[in-house]
C-alpha cells in the first residue's frame, strides 16, 4: 500500500525526490506528502458539486480504477505490478477533480504548477531518471569477444529493462534475460565470457544483479576489470575446441 500511495503521488507531482540528493529526498518526500493531503482534502470538501451527478460518478470511478485494479491483480495472482505507468491512466480524471476543487482555492495552483514544472525539468536533466540501457549496452559492446553471453536482469515486468537494452544492442550480441541467479552459471557454461549488465532500476533488478555477481564468484569464473556499468567474468573451465579431424589420404 505504501508503494501504491507513493507511485500515485508520483504520477501527479512527479519524481522530485529521485531527482535530488539523498539527503534532500526525505524532507522533500514529507513536504510533497503533506501537499498531497491538502489537495485530497480540497477535493473531498468540494464534493465535486460543480459537476453533474453522473459526471461525479464517472470521475470518481476513473480515479479509483487504476489502484483498485492493481490491488485486484495482487489478490488474484499474488503479484502486484505497481508501476507509475499504470496509475497515469487515472490522471485525466484526477485533473478534472482538482480543477473542480481548486476553483475555491486558486492559490494552491501556484505551488502545484511549480512542483510539476520542477519535476518535468528534473525528468529531463537528472541522472537518476535517465534510462541506463544505452550506456550499459555501449559498455558491454566494447568488451565483446567471440562466445560472449550478456546477461541482463529481468526487471520492470520484463519490459522496462530488457526492451531498451535489446533495442540498442548490435545483432551479434548474444543476450540472456536472467530471472534467477542460481541457474544462470549453468546456462552460461558454454560461453568463454559473461558480461552482466549492472542495471538496477527497480526492486527486482536491485536484488538480482548482486545475486548474479555472487553466482559467478566460483573457481571456474574469473572476474575481469570492467567499467561500473557492467561486470565481466571469463570462463576458466571451458576447454578449447578441438580442431576438426582430418581424414587420412586414401
pLDDT tens for 46-82 read 888 888 888 888 888 898 888 888 888 877 877 766 6
Domain assignment present for residue 106? The answer is yes
User: Residue 111 pLDDT > 70, yes or no?
Assistant: yes
For residue 80, the model assigns a pLDDT of: 65
Domain assignment present for residue 247? The answer is no
pLDDT in tens, 170-211: 999 999 999 999 999 999 999 999 999 999 888 888 899 999
Least-confidence region, from 42-46, 81-85, 200-204, 218-222: 81-85
d(CA 228, CA 111): 39
As a whole number of Å, the CA-based R_g of the chain is 25
d(CA 135, CA 156): 18
Domain assignment present for residue 244? The answer is no
Give mean pLDDT, residues 121-141. Answer: 82
Q: Which residues contact 106 (CB under 8 A, 6 or more apart)?
A: none
In which domain, by residue range, is 72 found? 2-129
Domain assignment present for residue 241? The answer is no
Choose the final residue of a domain: 129, 157, 185: 129
For 18, counting Cβ atoms within 10 Å of its Cβ (0-12 exposed, 13-18 middle, 19+ buried), the class is: middle
Cβ contact 24:30 at 8 Å? no
Domain assignment present for residue 246? The answer is no
Looking at the structure, do residues 121 and 37 belong to the same domain, yes or no? yes
Mean pLDDT, the chain, rounded, equals 86
Domain assignment present for residue 100? The answer is yes
The C-alpha cell that represents 113 in the structure block: 504548477
The residue that leads in pLDDT, 7 or 210, is 210
Positive or negative, the Cα torsion across 92, 75, 2, 163? negative
Q: What percent of the chain clears pLDDT 90, i.e. is strictly above it?
A: 40
Looking at the structure, do residues 152 and 229 belong to the same domain, yes or no? yes
Cβ contact 236:222 at 8 Å? yes
Looking at the structure, do residues 19 and 122 belong to the same domain, yes or no? yes
Positive or negative, the Cα torsion across 35, 13, 10, 32? negative
Domain count, the chain: 2
d(CA 72, CA 7): 17
Predicted confidence band of residue 250 (pLDDT cuts 50, 70, 90): very low
Domain assignment present for residue 84? The answer is yes
State the DSSP string of 167-215: HHS-TT-EEEEES-STTHHHHHTT-SEEEEE----SHHHHHHHHHHHHH
The residue that leads in pLDDT, 148 or 157, is 148
Give mean pLDDT, residues 211-236. Answer: 94
Amino acid at each position: 500500500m505504501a508503494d501504491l500511495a507513493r507511485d500515485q503521488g508520483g504520477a501527479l507531482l512527479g519524481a522530485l525526490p529521485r531527482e535530488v540528493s539523498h539527503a534532500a529526498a526525505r524532507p522533500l518526500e514529507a513536504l510533497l506528502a503533506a501537499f498531497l493531503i491538502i489537495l485530497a482534502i480540497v477535493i473531498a470538501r468540494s464534493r465535486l458539486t460543480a459537476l453533474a451527478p453522473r459526471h461525479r460518478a464517472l470521475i470518481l470511478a476513473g480515479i479509483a480504477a487504476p489502484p483498485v485494479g492493481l490491488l485486484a491483480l495482487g489478490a488474484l495472482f499474488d503479484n502486484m505490478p505497481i508501476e507509475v505507468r499504470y496509475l497515469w491512466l487515472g490522471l485525466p480524471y484526477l485533473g478534472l477533480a482538482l480543477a473542480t476543487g481548486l476553483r475555491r482555492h486558486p492559490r494552491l495552483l501556484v505551488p502545484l504548477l511549480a512542483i510539476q514544472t520542477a519535476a518535468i525539468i528534473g525528468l529531463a536533466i537528472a541522472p537518476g531518471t535517465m534510462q541506463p540501457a544505452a550506456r550499459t549496452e555501449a559498455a558491454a559492446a566494447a568488451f565483446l569477444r567471440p562466445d560472449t553471453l550478456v546477461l541482463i536482469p529481468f526487471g520492470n515486468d520484463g519490459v522496462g529493462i530488457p526492451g531498451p537494452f535489446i533495442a540498442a544492442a548490435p545483432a551479434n550480441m548474444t543476450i540472456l534475460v536472467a530471472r534467477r541467479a542460481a541457474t544462470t552459471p549453468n546456462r552460461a557454461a558454454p560461453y568463454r565470457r559473461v558480461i552482466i549488465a549492472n542495471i538496477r532500476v527497480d526492486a527486482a533488478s536491485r536484488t538480482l544483479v548482486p545475486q548474479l555477481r555472487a553466482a559467478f564468484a566460483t573457481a571456474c569464473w574469473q572476474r575481469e576489470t570492467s567499467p561500473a556499468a557492467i561486470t565481466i567474468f571469463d570462463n576458466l573451465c571451458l576447454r578449447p575446441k578441438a580442431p576438426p579431424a582430418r581424414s587420412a589420404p586414401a
